[in-house]
Amino acid sequence: MYSKKVMENFMNPKNVGEIDDASGIGEVGNAKCGDIMKVYLKIEDGIIKDAKFKTFGCGAAIATSSMATQMIIGKTVQEALELTNKAVVEALDGLPPIKLHCSVLAEEAVHAALWDYAKKNNIEIKGLKPPKEDISH
């Protein structure tokens, strides 16, 4: 049912944890299942230097946040914004259709963290929309 890459990222997720002096923090919830994800970004000179996450959620949510954080480290803020849940799912060699909604959480959490970063630094990130629901406060 799950690809080898999904299992690897679920059993041994990368980038789990927090960043104390994070440049941006995003927390989102999945209305369908009630799972919650928090993403921490360390951004210097417009580059994602580090990304960490905490997920109170299912295996697919853990695997997608592990993969999404790996994919955005070293990228520019704009490139991180452009990372879609579809690209993350492809990098994981797919998810069962019933678990596709779980991958949206990682994309939304990254966007929410970028939004927080932009707000704190009073900058505009082209194409970035405010998080649907801000549950970080």
Q: Is 33 in the active site?
A: yes
CA 77, CA 14: separation in Å to the nearest integer? 20
The active-site residue out of 25, 102, 110, 128 is 102
For the CB of residue 22, give the shortest distance to ligand FES in the complex, in Å: 22
Pick the stretch among 17-25, 55-63, 68-76, 111-119 that binds ligand FES (CB under 6 A): 55-63
Pick the stretch among 52-60, 81-89, 107-115, 122-130 that binds ligand FES (CB under 6 A): 52-60
Say whether residue 35 binds ligand FES (CB under 6 A).
yes
Find the helix or strand (DSSP H, E) in which 90 lies. helix 85-91
CA 80, CA 51: separation in Å to the nearest integer? 11
CA 55, CA 126: separation in Å to the nearest integer? 27
Q: Is 58 in the active site?
A: no
The 3-state DSSP class for residue 17 equals coil
CA 50, CA 23: separation in Å to the nearest integer? 10
Residue ranges in contact with ligand FES by CB under 6 A? 30, 33, 35, 57-58, 60-61, 102, 105
Catalytic residues: 33, 102
